[in-house]
């Protein structure tokens, strides 16, 4: 993959330096250093409770951080930044629960942030929303309300909604874990297409096969630290750290979503 070599050279879009976070006493994130180059796709893997969700929420300024810094496109942002709302517009995030707005149609869900937060006209916002829904294979569902959509469709609307402010980075937190296995494929396919299109993404996932396929880089988290990172080949075929090996062995013995 020649693509990656050129990517690494670019300046990072999102950079976390020495990021620490505690909930009460326990340290949930312990001096995380992580940077994403433009167009790069990074997957976070790790056992439940290793801090993947916390990392994504801190990066999106949804949680205050205790130490360290977050740099977006070269400018430092901090959790107590008074312009945190503006920063959030430059980062898209999708959680595992869809939290679509039930009183709005798919189209209105996607068009809301461009219209309200970016100040686009309704026509311009809806045009953008339509294009995104089409891109995610939901053109026919534009006027449907969330409760009449399948879980996979809802999750794709949520992705379209997160993309609607044209974020520099898309943060995705286990967005397939609440879905039927049949529906997972649709969502993963949509993400693959986004990755091909050059979207910069940071993805927390339990889908090892997907991670191996889509990621440029894998980070293995344990106890709030990045224990090991590297290309998918390296992490999945020849992990160096014994903790990474132990985790992958556990995942494989469970079967289903392990690396095929």
Partner 1 sequence: MTAARSARKGTLVAVISTLVVATLVAISIGSSPSWPLVQKAFFDGTYFSSSLPDVIGAFAINIQLFVLAEILILPIGLLIALARSITNPAFTPLRIFATIYTDFFRGVPSILLIYVLGFGVPALRLPGVPKEPFFWALVTLVLIYSAYVSEVYRAGIESIHPSQERAARALGLTRFQALRYVVLPQALRRVVPPLLNDFIGLQKDTALVSILGVVEAFKQAQILKSANFNFTPLMVTALIFLVITIPMTRLVDCLAAKDRATQQGGTR
146 binds partner 1 (CB under 8 A): yes
Reduced to 3 states (helix: H, G, I; strand: E, B; else coil), residue 134 is: helix
Closest separation in Å from C-beta 95 to ligand ATP: 10
- Least distance from partner 1 to the Cβ atom of residue 31, Å: 25
63 counts as binding partner 1 under rule CB under 8 A: no
Taking residues 114 to 133 in sequence order and writing x for each that binds partner 1 by CB under 8 A, - otherwise, the string is: --xxx---------------
Which of 136, 226, 222 lies closest to 187, judged by CA? 136
Query: Does the footprint of partner 1 cover residue 86 (CB under 8 A)?
Result: yes
At residue 10, the 3 state secondary structure works out as coil
**161 makes contact with partner 1 (CB under 8 A):** yes
Enumerate the β-bridge partners of residue 203: 43, 172
Minimum distance of ligand ATP from residue 168's CB (angstroms): 23
Q: According to CB under 5 A, which residues from 29 to 88 bind Mg ion?
A: 53
Q: Which two tokens stand for residue 235?
A: 């992490």
Give the span between the Cα atoms of 67 and 31, in whole angstroms.
Answer: 8
Near partner 1 by CB under 8 A, which window of 3-11, 70-78, 91-99, 183-191? 91-99
Residue 52 or 225: the one with the smaller Cβ distance to partner 1 is: 52
Tokens 């991670």 correspond to 211
Query: With binding defined as CB under 5 A, does residue 176 bind Mg ion?
Result: no
Angstrom distance (rounded) from CA 103 to CA 80: 31
- What's the min distance (Å) between Cβ of 112 and partner 1? 6
What sign has the CA pseudo-torsion 122, 127, 128, 132?
positive
Nearest to 132 by CA among 37, 177, 176, 197: 197
* Residue in the structure block whose two tokens are 């790069």: 40
Is 162 a binding residue for partner 1 by CB under 8 A? The answer is yes
28 binds, among Mg ion, partner 1, ligand ATP, none (CB under 5 to 8 A by kind): ligand ATP
Comparing CA positions, the residue from 29, 13, 54, 30 lying closest to residue 174 is 54
Answer yes or no whether residue 206 interacts with partner 1 by CB under 8 A: no
Binding footprint of partner 1 on the chain (CB under 8 A)? 60, 62, 85-86, 88-90, 92-93, 95, 97, 99-103, 112-113, 116-118, 145-148, 161-162, 164-165
């Amino acid at each position: 993959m020649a693509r990656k070599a050129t990517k690494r050279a670019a300046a990072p879009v999102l950079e976390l330096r020495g990021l620490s976070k505690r909930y009460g006493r326990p340290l949930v994130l312990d001096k995380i250093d992580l940077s994403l180059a433009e167009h790069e796709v990074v997957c976070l893997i790790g056992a439940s409770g290793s801090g993947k969700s916390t990392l994504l929420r801190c990066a999106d300024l949804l949680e205050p951080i205790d130490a360290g810094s977050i740099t977006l496109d070269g400018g430092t942002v901090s959790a107590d930044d008074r312009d945190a709302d503006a920063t959030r517009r430059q980062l898209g995030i999708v959680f595992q629960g869809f939290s679509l707005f039930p009183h709005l149609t798919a189209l209105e869900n996607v068009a809301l942030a461009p219209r309200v937060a970016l100040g686009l006209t309704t026509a311009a916002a809806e045009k953008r929303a339509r294009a995104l829904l089409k891109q995610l294979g939901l053109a026919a569902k534009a006027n449907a309300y969330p409760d009449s959509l399948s879980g996979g469709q809802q999750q794709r609307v949520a992705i379209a909604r997160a993309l609607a402010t044209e974020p520099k980075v898309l943060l995705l937190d286990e967005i397939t874990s609440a879905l039927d296995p049949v529906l997972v494929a649709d969502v993963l396919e949509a993400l693959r297409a986004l990755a091909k299109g050059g979207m910069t993404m940071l993805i927390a996932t339990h889908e090892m096969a997907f991670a191996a396929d889509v990621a440029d880089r894998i980070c293995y988290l344990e106890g709030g630290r990045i224990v090991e990172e590297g290309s998918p080949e390296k992490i999945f075929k020849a992990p160096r750290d014994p903790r990474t090996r132990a985790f992958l062995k556990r995942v494989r013995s469970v079967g289903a979503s392990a690396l095929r």
